[in-house]
Amino acid sequence: MNARLHDAGGYDAVAFGAWRTRQQSAVEAALSRWVPADAPAGLGEAMRYAVLDGGKRLRPLLVLATAEALDGEPHAAMRAACAVELIHAYSLVHDDMPCMDNDVLRRGKPTVHVKYGEAQALLAGDALQALAFELLVPGDGSVSAALSAELCRRLALASGADGMAGGQAVDLASVGVALDQPALEAMHRRKTGALLQASVLMGAATASAPPPRMDALSTYGACLGLAFQVVDDILDVTADSATLGKTAGKDAAADKPTFVSLMGLAAAQSYADATLERAHEALRAGGVPRPDTLHALADWVGRRAS
């Protein structure tokens, strides 16, 4: 078997690498076009600093890969891809602030509040959230109202009290608390899982995927989200800050419950692998037409080094 053409996951690893690089560039260009440089009083500069030139763009890639797999609408998918990334970016800005994680390093650069001050960081995060929704409803009619409304609803649900913000509240409250595995998973399902899952489902929405396929993709997104977090916990203890581009060993230092503290390193790795296999299986069971890139993204999440 030719490793260039097909790795163990059954997809072309080189083609996936090229796809990823191409889409990361496209997302970067779209974000650069849509995050306003001219927002007043330095706000635009802080917003762009928070968003541009950074990160793996996993959430946008999930949106775009799902849309491509189902032959979704490319322009709407790119708007959705950027919208989920703006939500992710704003959550990092707020999460890094002194009253939350008080972190000074993000993606290898000073965090937004270190660079621009806390007030500007707070406002930049707020404005990025608003911009995410604005992107989903272009004024030029280039996305249908039905699709805009569905995308807004999915993004709002994944971002709010029952999604990301709620998960962060649980996270805050669980420092030094002995969460069991179901409670830890419930927390992460909100904190990071909801937006990752929404990324997949928003991509699917651009293709008006029928309910059974949405269910399969929902399972794929949930498993990928869980595996992402387990690997995150593993990297927190095995990688260094330079590789991560953020402070390593943070969770252990903060006495936060993690999959590693709960089950040990080897079992956490096995659990990540098994969870990713469930993601692959969901794609197969759902009969997703062109699933290669989604398979590849799942493995990419599981094998990442940062």
Of 65-73, 139-147, 207-215, 287-295, which part binds its own copies (CB under 8 A)?
A: 139-147
Give min distance, CB of 69 to its own copies, in A: 24
User: Is residue 139 near its own copies by the rule CB under 8 A?
Assistant: yes
The residues, any chain, with a CB within 8 Å of residue 144's CB and separated by 6 or more, are: none
Is there binding between residue 150 and its own copies (CB under 8 A)?
yes
- Our finding on whether 126 is near its own copies (CB under 8 A) is yes
Please enumerate in sequence order all residues whose Cβ is within 8 A of that of 117, keeping only pairs 6 or more positions apart, or say none: none
Hey, what amino acid is at 202?
A: M
Residue 152 CB, shortest distance to its own copies, in Å, is 5
Phi, psi values for residue 161, rounded to 5°: -60, -30
Q: To the nearest whole angstrom, how small is the minimum distance from the Cβ of residue 164 to its own copies? A: 8
Judged by CB under 8 A, does residue 172 bind its own copies?
A: yes
Task: Note whether 183 and 249 are within 8 A (CB).
Answer: no
Residue whose pair of structure tokens reads 């399902």 in the numeric block: 189
Query: Does residue 43 interact with its own copies by CB under 8 A?
Result: yes
Give me the least distance between CB of 65 and its own copies, in Å please: 25
Q: Is 1 in the site for its own copies (CB under 8 A)?
A: no
Q: Which is nearer to its own copies, 148 or 218 (CB)?
A: 148
Only segment of 26-34, 148-156, 257-265, 277-285 that touches its own copies (CB under 8 A): 148-156
Regarding 182 and contact with its own copies (CB under 8 A), the answer is no
222-241 footprint of its own copies as x/- string (CB under 8 A): --------------------
Size of the site for its own copies (CB under 8 A): 57
Select the residue interacting with its own copies from 119, 178, 211, 305 (CB under 8 A): 119
Residues 72 to 111 in contact with its own copies, rule: CB under 8 A: 90-91, 94, 97, 99-100
Please report, as residue ranges, which positions from 247 to 286 form the binding site for its own copies (by CB under 8 A): none
Measured from the CB atom, is 57 or 190 closer to its own copies? 190
Among residues 15 and 169, whose Cβ is nearest to its own copies? 169
Q: Which residues bind its own copies (CB under 8 A)?
A: 36, 39-44, 47, 90-91, 94, 97, 99-100, 117-120, 122-123, 125-127, 129-131, 133-134, 136-137, 139, 144-146, 148-150, 152-153, 155-157, 159-163, 165-170, 172-174, 190
